Chains A and B, each alone.
Chain A
Amino acid sequence: MTTLNIAAAADSSGAPTEVEDATTQLEARRPNWLQRTAANWKIHLAQVLVVAGILVVWQLVDGPILPDYLISSPSGVAVELWQLITGVEPGLWVNLGITGQELAIGYVIGVVSGVAGGLILGYWRAGAAVIGPVITAINGIPKIALAPLFLIWFGIGVESKIAIAAMTVFFIMYYNTFMGITTMPTPLVDVVRIMGGNRSLVIRRVVLPQIAPSLLAGLKSSVPFAMIGVIVGEFIASDSGIGNYISNATQNFESAKVFAGIVLLMILILVGMWLVSLVERRVLRWQRD
């Protein structure tokens, strides 16, 4: 009974105006959002025009100005892609599958190990003091210089490419996690620990969400880096994959095939980025309007 009185009293003071505030804010946002879409539409049109312009110039330059074996042409690349898709020229799905697999597995291993490493050293400061400089030193080596070693260790198959991609991603995610933890403000952690939360709960429910922006930045920049690792590996030694396809085409001066391979890589990257953006939307849903 007492609680009812209090609630009623509280309702008659602060709460109603706050409710109104909240709803007016929501309504005020909608036109903004519409305006933004309209502006986006114009930007998208301009983007399409720019790309179309580049393609037209490319098509015109091919032949009269530059020889076809150097730059091919948009139509030539389109024909090549069509032959790959229809299976006139074999191997598209196998190559795409192999490279996609190397990319995905390497990426996931790199992310998991990088985040774990960053968490461990983020908490274990003595360990960070000892191992941190070693990690920094190794990170200073261009990863591509290590790629041949990975081929010796893991062979010519998918494993070596997975390892190279994982290593590249590991360093990115390690640094993003470590920096996130060491620069994180502590009050929220303290509050949850005082209410009884153990370390595992604090990490899952406070630390990871709090460093999410830094982790997501790492996840995004890791996608193209993982791709570099995979393709460099395939260039050095491989029997299949898009990198292998591009490498073979290059040796035969088949530039249409090279460009077709690059288009396929772009598609893989876009799919990867799109998957990461799905994760991002899910993780940051509390920030959305």
Chain B
Amino acid sequence: MSTETLQMRPDNDRGLRVDGTPAAAGGLPVGEVAARFENVNLTFASKTSSRRVHALNDVTFDIGQNEFIAVVGPSGCGKSTLLNLVAGLMKPTSGSIYLRGEKVTGLQKSIGYVTQDSNLLPWLTVEENMRMPLKIRNWPKEKQDEEIARWLDIVGLSGFEKAYPRQLSGGMQKRCSIARTLVYDPDILLMDEPFGAVDAITRSLLQDTLLRIWTERPKSVLFITHDLSEALALADKVVIMTKRPGRVKAVVPVRVPRPRDIFHLSEDPEFGHQQRELWDLFTSEI
């Protein structure tokens, strides 16, 4: 049962998916694809030696419309690079990235990107930081206020509207940065280990919040993590990357049924089952 649901790819990565469609063409019709990596290769000049670093090797996978994709892989495998490619901050050496059916050629300006660092503007207060994307979108003042208050409440930062980022703890900055991205309701959301730096309890709460938000306002999510359980808890599919040069080792559909109860997920037999499968796949890469 396990092997046939795992969409294993042969090492040359030019093979077929389990359902028989060619991998390079993706599994979905273009209209239903939010983002697509098509034979993406990336090499860049190393900072420490004269040799070029091969970061990504023929990466191909799709993020379906409103699909939640988690990418896991050993550190340094180029996971975060995937997000920079979708955002248009980097260009692939070869291959293409498509966003809503269009090839990414420059910086994308209508997506949500929660970076690994909070990247809040230190000279703006929490409230001003969150207002910036809304001002850019010319939302009416009342709607801005309403949404900012709602999101501050969701991430537990009510009462800190007038605080400057440096007056907040790292976890609070992180929550503010997430709220600042979600407040403008982007349809495509890139998240780079967003909960990596927060404590375990807050992490579960934030995961729970994210799932609720995603259920309420569906979005296409590309979520980078190094935590297999997190990937299983949140995603529809888990993309497992190999160590550098990063290659897609497998795309695994998550069988844990929705709605998922983050706080009691470990009691779900399917969760334990799949966690073991993924772990075996993953450890062969460490």
Contact = CB atoms under 8 A, between A and B. Distances in A.
Interface of A: 2-4, 6-7, 9-11, 13-15, 18-19, 21-22, 187-188, 190-197, 201, 205-206, 209, 212, 286-287
Given A14-B201, A195-B136, A21 B169 contact: yes
15 contacts: A10-B202, A15-B156, A19-B159, A192-B121, A194-B107, A194-B111, A195-B109, A195-B132, A195-B136, A195-B180, A196-B110, A205-B124, A209-B123, A286-B122, A287-B166
A11 B172 CA distance: 12
A19 B157 CA distance: 10
B197 interface: no
B153 A188 contact: no
A209 B123 CA distance: 7
B155 A10 contact: yes
A14 B136 contact: no
Interface of A is mostly: helix
Interface in B142-160: 150, 153-159
Contact of A3 (B112, B150, B157): B150
Nearest to A286: B123
Nearest to A197: B136
B115 A6 contact: no
Given A18-B168, A196-B109, 9 more contacts: A10-B202, A13-B199, A14-B202, A18-B169, A194-B108, A194-B111, A209-B121, A286-B164, A287-B166
B163 to A, nearest CB: 8
Contacts of B113: 191, 194
Contact of A187 (B119, B155, B181): B119
A191 B136 contact: no
A205 B121 contact: yes
A288 to B, nearest CB: 9
A201 B89 contact: no
Interface in B179-227: 180-181, 184, 198-199, 201-202, 205, 208-209, 212, 216
B191 to A, nearest CB: 13
Given A14-B202, A286-B123, A187 B184 contact: no
A29 to B, nearest CB: 12
Interface of B: 87, 89, 107-113, 115, 117, 119, 121-124, 132-133, 136-137, 150, 153-159, 163-164, 166-169, 171-172, 180-181, 184, 198-199, 201-202, 205, 208-209, 212, 216
A119 to B, nearest CB: 18
A250 to B, nearest CB: 48
B122 A6 contact: no
B204 to A, nearest CB: 9
B119 A191 contact: yes
A192 B132 contact: yes
Contacts of B110: 196
Given A2-B212, A9-B205, A10-B156, A195 B122 contact: no
B123 A6 contact: no
A196 B156 contact: no
Give the top 6 A-B pairs by smallest Cβ distance, nearest first.
A10-B156, A195-B133, A286-B123, A196-B136, A209-B123, A191-B119
Given A6-B208, A190-B89, A11 B108 contact: no
Contacts of B172: 14-15, 18
A14 B107 contact: no
A30 to B, nearest CB: 16
Contacts of B184: 195-196
A61 to B, nearest CB: 52
A3 B153 contact: yes
Contacts of B112: 195
Contacts of B133: 195-196
Most chain B CB neighbours (cut-off 10 Å) among A14, A190, A197, A212: A14
A6 B136 contact: no
B280 to A, nearest CB: 33
A21 B205 CA distance: 21
Contacts of B216: 2
A191 to B, nearest CB: 5
Most chain A CB neighbours (cut-off 10 Å) among B121, B155, B164: B121
Contacts of B124: 205, 286
Contact of B107 (A18, A193, A209): A193
Contacts of A9: 205
A14 B208 contact: no
A205 B135 CA distance: 12
Contacts of A18: 168-169, 171-172
B140 to A, nearest CB: 17
Contacts of A7: 153-154, 156, 158
Most chain B CB neighbours (cut-off 10 Å) among A4, A19, A195, A205: A195
Contacts of B150: 3
Contacts of B122: 286
B153 to A, nearest CB: 5
A22 B167 contact: yes
Contacts of B111: 194
B132 A13 contact: no
